[in-house]
Amino acid sequence: MLTAQNVSVARAGVMVLVGVSFHLTAGRALILRGPNGAGKTTLLRAVAGLQPLAGGSLNGGEDDIAYGAHSDGVKPTLTVAENLTFWAQIYGTHLTAPAMAAMQMETLANRRAGQLSAGQKRRLGLARILVTGRKIWVLDEPTVSLDAASVALFGAAVQAHLAAGGAALIATHIDLGFAAGVLDITPFRADAHAPVLSGQFDEAFL
């Protein structure tokens, strides 16, 4: 579904990762591991299309990716249901109710998102991923501020997604409780003084 060949990514004009390759097939999850600052977020943002690659190529998945960032994109003055319905409309799906059920948010549906706890807000952010109906989930530390029960809930949602023929690329530090391939990106870390390879002149100034 998604193939990365020899991908290099840069952040603020400094090479972060060089020569990362992986292959994501339907029904499989790939866990990204690496210490803080290793470049997991940068790699995921590049996969999601938010920043250009400094080298290599990504194939497949252009219109199949649902990206979940550190922040949930939740509007505090809208209710849980309004937040989810908005994203369902953006992606043209009607998955609000199943997504709320999967993340056990039905009882919170009419609560304003600003009144949710950090963990509940995170669950709302994950329900947003479910609502997109996209095949490839690209998630950046999805379990931050979740308790053990919610992590299990999230694990079940990912497994259901994989069983339905989806795929997931997840950066995390914890064990999510299901079988998945692991890609440790530490060996791909770039020399901190390496220059940006391609001719993206503006990267150097950002």
Q: How far is the CB of 152 from another protein (least distance, A)?
A: 25
Taking CB under 8 A as the criterion, which residues in 165-204 touch another protein?
Answer: 202-203
Give the binding range for another protein (CB under 8 A) out of 76-84, 98-106, 143-151, 163-171: 76-84
Distance of CA 49 to the CA centre of its chain: 12
Task: Report yes or no: 51 and 198 within 8 Å, Cβ to Cβ.
Answer: no
> Binding string, 19-58, against another protein, x = CB under 8 A?
-----------------------------xxxxx------
Taking CB under 8 A as the criterion, which residues in 87-126 touch another protein?
Answer: 87, 89-92
**If binding means CB under 8 A, how many residues of this protein chain bind another protein?**
30
Structure tokens at 83: 């937040």
Give the binding range for another protein (CB under 8 A) out of 27-35, 79-87, 103-111, 170-178: 79-87
Angle between helices 118-132 and 148-163 (to 10 degrees): 0
Exactly one of 22, 86, 155, 189 binds another protein (CB under 8 A); that residue is 86
Give the binding range for another protein (CB under 8 A) out of 15-23, 30-38, 84-92, 189-197: 84-92
Q: Which is nearer to another protein, 121 or 161 (CB)?
A: 121
Q: Which of 57, 27, 53, 25 is nearest to 39 (CA)?
A: 53
| Site residues (vs another protein, CB under 8 A) | 48-52, 63, 65-67, 69-78, 82, 86-87, 89-92, 128, 202-203, 206
